[in-house]
């Protein structure tokens, strides 16, 4: 049985002789190739972002895309006269995507070769394959969530948010307060499962263990009274950020075991991870217990280790760890913290369940 290919998060399109049939500078009324519109819209509906790397006059190309009714579907387009490898790299960096999740489609073998020479992790496709893309496994997520269907809109909102930040005069904390950020933490239900599974699958930089939890795994945890499966959403005055985090927590009499914390890279700059951790630590402190977090280093999640260390987690030994047994030999660490009360965030409001109350209820004699 072969492994499933890494899902493509963003497809970068050439324009001339790829999206449309001809060269725009030679024919200002150039038409779309058959099926291109449908492919772009279908990928968008699956949560695959579309972007552009084209050697063209920006104003002419963008006006033509608007005329064709396609401009709104492209995020962070790179239209100019530079190298396409630079354009692809810029798109990946701006979206904060690994190059392994970027694909590029162009009619010219020389352009595809140039991109691969500088970024061999980028998957390249000939323009003649455009009509086949939606049938390929790397463009076909098993589950398409509500957040996936509006992913483009959320990224476009983030660009508007970033543009406002560029013109904001004042400290970063004041800008965050101006956004009217609201974090909502809730216990997951059946409707949330696909969003939770997608987060564990897509998030790599801010995933504490790199573990993917399947729908079946999550259903078992939901049915277990000793476990909490929590989802995190974030909104601001520009609109929803969607599901941005998941926590998998197991409660023991002396400690709370944080099996997984994964947060979206999109909300790192808002301090969402710190707010989430401080809330959980405060809840554990109210319950009078210790907190132990699983962490497994990967080549992408160094930021998560820093977040844990900054919150106060250490590798120091504690008698409470005996209930968990030895950490697995595959690099899993048990990071320990004696929970203490934490101040509420000053940059966002928070709605969340009272886990400490639930813990007390769970251990109270009947």
pLDDT band (50, 70, 90) for residue 204: low
Q: What is the mean pLDDT of the chain?
A: 90
Q: Look at residue 246 and give its three-state secondary structure.
A: strand
Per-residue DSSP letter, 245: E
pLDDT of res. 245? 87
Alpha carbon 222 to its chain centroid, in Å, reads 23
Answer yes or no: is pLDDT of 207 > 70.
no
Phi-psi region of 224 (alpha: psi -120 to 50; beta: other; left: phi over 0): beta
Tens digits of residue pLDDT in 137-183 = 999 998 788 888 989 999 999 899 989 999 999 999 999 999 999 99
pLDDT of res. 269? 86
Q: Work out the angle between the directed axes of helices 302-311 and 272-286 (0-180°, nearest 10).
A: 40
Tens digits of residue pLDDT in 237-277 = 998 888 888 899 999 988 999 998 888 877 888 999 999 99
**Phi then psi dihedrals of residue 44, to 5 deg:** -60, -40
Which residue in the block uniquely carries the two structure tokens 């904060």?
96
Find all residues with CB under 8 Å of 151, minimum gap 6, and list them: 47, 49, 242
pLDDT of res. 186? 94
Residues 77/37, Cβ–Cβ less than 8 Å = no
> Do you know the residue count of the chain?
366
Answer yes or no: is pLDDT of 366 > 50.
no
pLDDT band (50, 70, 90) for residue 364: very low
Query: Which one has a higher pLDDT value, 352 or 358?
Result: 352
Fold of the domain built from segment(s) 10-139:
Rossmann fold (3.40.50)
Mean pLDDT over 17-21 rounds to 98
Answer yes or no: is pLDDT of 49 > 50.
yes
pLDDT of res. 363? 40
pLDDT band (50, 70, 90) for residue 69: very high
Task: Give the dihedral of Cα atoms 38, 39, 45, 47; nearest 10 deg.
Answer: -160
pLDDT of res. 116? 97
Tens digits of residue pLDDT in 275-330 = 999 999 999 999 998 999 999 888 778 888 888 999 999 999 999 988 888 766 57
Q: How far apart are CA 360 and CA 295, in angstroms?
A: 27
Answer yes or no: is pLDDT of 40 > 70.
yes
pLDDT of res. 362? 45
Q: Both tokens of residue 38?
A: 């449908």
Q: Work out the angle between the directed axes of helices 109-118 and 84-95 (0-180°, nearest 10).
A: 50
pLDDT of res. 212? 73
Instruction: Quickly list DSSP for 115-135.
Output: HHHH-TTSEEEEGGGGGGGGG
Tens digits of residue pLDDT in 101-131 = 999 999 999 999 999 999 999 999 999 999 9
Q: How far apart are CA 357 and CA 28, in angstroms?
A: 67
Counting Cα atoms < 13 Å in the Cβ hemisphere of 233 gives 16
CATH class of the domain whose range is 170-363? alpha beta
User: According to the 3-state scheme, what is the secondary structure of 187-238?
Assistant: ECCHHHHHHHHHHHHHCCCCECCCCCCCHHHHHHHHHCCCEEEEEEEEEECC
Q: Which pTM does this prediction carry?
A: 0.70
Domain residue extents for the chain: 10-139, 170-363
């Amino acid at each position: 049985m072969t492994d499933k290919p890494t899902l493509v998060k963003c497809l970068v399109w050439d324009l001339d002789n790829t999206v449309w049939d001809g060269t725009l500078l030679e024919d200002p009324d150039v038409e779309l190739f058959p099926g291109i519109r449908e492919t772009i819209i279908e990928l968008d509906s699956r949560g695959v972002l579309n972007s552009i790397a084209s050697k063209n006059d920006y104003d002419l190309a963008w006006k033509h895309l608007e005329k064709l009714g396609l401009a709104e579907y492209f995020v962070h387009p790179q239209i100019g006269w530079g190298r396409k490898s630079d354009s692809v790299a810029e798109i990946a960096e701006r979206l904060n995507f690994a190059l392994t999740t970027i694909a590029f489609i162009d009619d010219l073998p020389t352009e595809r070769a140039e991109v691969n020479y500088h970024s061999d992790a980028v998957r390249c496709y000939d323009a003649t394959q455009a009509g086949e893309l939606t049938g390929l496994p790397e463009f076909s997520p098993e589950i398409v969530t509500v957040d996936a269907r509006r992913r483009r809109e959320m990224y476009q909102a983030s660009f508007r948010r970033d543009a406002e930040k560029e013109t904001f005069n004042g400290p970063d904390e004041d800008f965050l307060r101006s956004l009217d950020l609201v974090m909502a933490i809730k216990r997951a239900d059946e409707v949330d499962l696909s969003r939770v599974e997608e987060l564990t699958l897509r998030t790599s930089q801010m995933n504490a263990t790199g573990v993917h939890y399947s729908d079946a795994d999550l259903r078992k945890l939901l049915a277990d009274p000793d476990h909490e499966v929590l989802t995190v959403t974030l909104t601001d005055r520009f609109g929803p950020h969607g599901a941005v985090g998941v926590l998998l927590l197991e409660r023991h009499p002396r400690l709370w075991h944080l099996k997984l914390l994964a947060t979206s890279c999109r909300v790192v700059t808002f301090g969402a991870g710190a707010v989430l951790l401080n809330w959980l630590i405060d809840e554990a402190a109210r319950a009078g217990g210790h907190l132990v977090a699983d962490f497994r280093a990967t080549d992408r999640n160094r930021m998560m280790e820093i977040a844990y260390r900054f919150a106060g987690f250490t590798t120091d030994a504690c008698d409470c760890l005996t209930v968990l047994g030895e950490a697995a030999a595959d690099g899993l660490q048990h990071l320990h913290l004696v929970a203490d009360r934490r101040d509420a965030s000053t940059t966002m409001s928070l709605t969340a369940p009272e886990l400490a109350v639930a813990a007390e209820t769970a251990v109270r004699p009947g």
